[in-house]
Amino acid sequence: MKNKKTFFKKTLSVNEKALFTSYKVSYKIVRCKKTPTITEELILPAAIEIVETKFGDNFAKELQSIPLSNDTVSRQIDDIAEDVEQQLFGKLRDKLFSIQLDEATDSNKDAHFIAYVRFWDASYEWMRDPFQNTPEGLSTTEEENFIDFTSSGEIKRQFCNKTHFQFWAEVDDEFSELKTKAFRILLPRFQHRTFVKPDFFGG
């Protein structure tokens, strides 16, 4: 019985990894604006050949357990889109935000209604006060750089006497990466855009 439980746990772990890998591939397909058919036509066959040539048949067979059919990838892309939408709704809930509406056409000349949403994300608080908040997702080098930045008495004095824009505009090139991160937040840009299906316009 103990051996059966161990086998089941191991199998479940492998299946979870295969599913997670499948979602990661689907996400990259979306980012590259490719159709789901590319997985069965190119990505999976190419990956199997690469692994088979480099590491052997046994490792290549492992790739076949990854669910990458056209239908599966299409469904996962829908799941990812819904998750992004729910994350957006969560960020907008109880917050002030602005909306810009626009119309555009794609390569097939289908009309799309686009909604741009701009809002303030709590993860940007470090830009408003870097001496009280720390940016998320910093590398080790960036963390050390940020510590040096916030440890400077002169920089803190400048922060207290200038607007956010003036302060970050005059930050020394020594902290150029941090400065760039801040300006990506400061400069006007929209955090999310939503496409409505072409038939929105009756096309």
- Residue by residue, pLDDT tens for the chain (203 residues) are 545 445 434 444 558 889 999 999 999 998 898 999 999 999 999 999 999 999 999 899 889 889 999 999 999 999 999 998 888 888 778 777 788 888 888 778 888 888 888 777 777 788 888 988 888 878 888 888 899 999 999 999 989 988 888 898 888 888 888 888 888 877 754 444 444 444 433 44
Q: Are the C-beta atoms of residues 85 and 56 closer than 8 Å to each other?
A: no
What is the distance between the alpha carbons of residues 115 and 12, in angstroms, rounded to a whole number?
41
In whole angstroms, what is the distance from residue 178 CA to residue 90 CA? 27
User: Which residues, 6+ apart, have CB-to-CB distance to 11 below 8 Å?
Assistant: none
Q: What is the pLDDT of residue 47?
A: 94
Helical segments of the chain, H only = 2-31, 37-38, 44-55, 57-63, 70-92, 125-128, 140-150, 153-161, 164-169, 176-186
What was the pLDDT predicted at 94?
75
Give the number of other CB atoms < 10 A from CB of residue 182: 23
Residues 6+ apart with CB under 8 A from 49: 60
CA distances in angstroms from 169 to 48, 82, 96, 125, listed in the order given? 50, 37, 26, 17
- Burial (CB count <10 Å: 0-12, 13-18, 19+), residue 28: exposed
Residue 151, phi then psi, degrees to nearest 5:
-90, -10
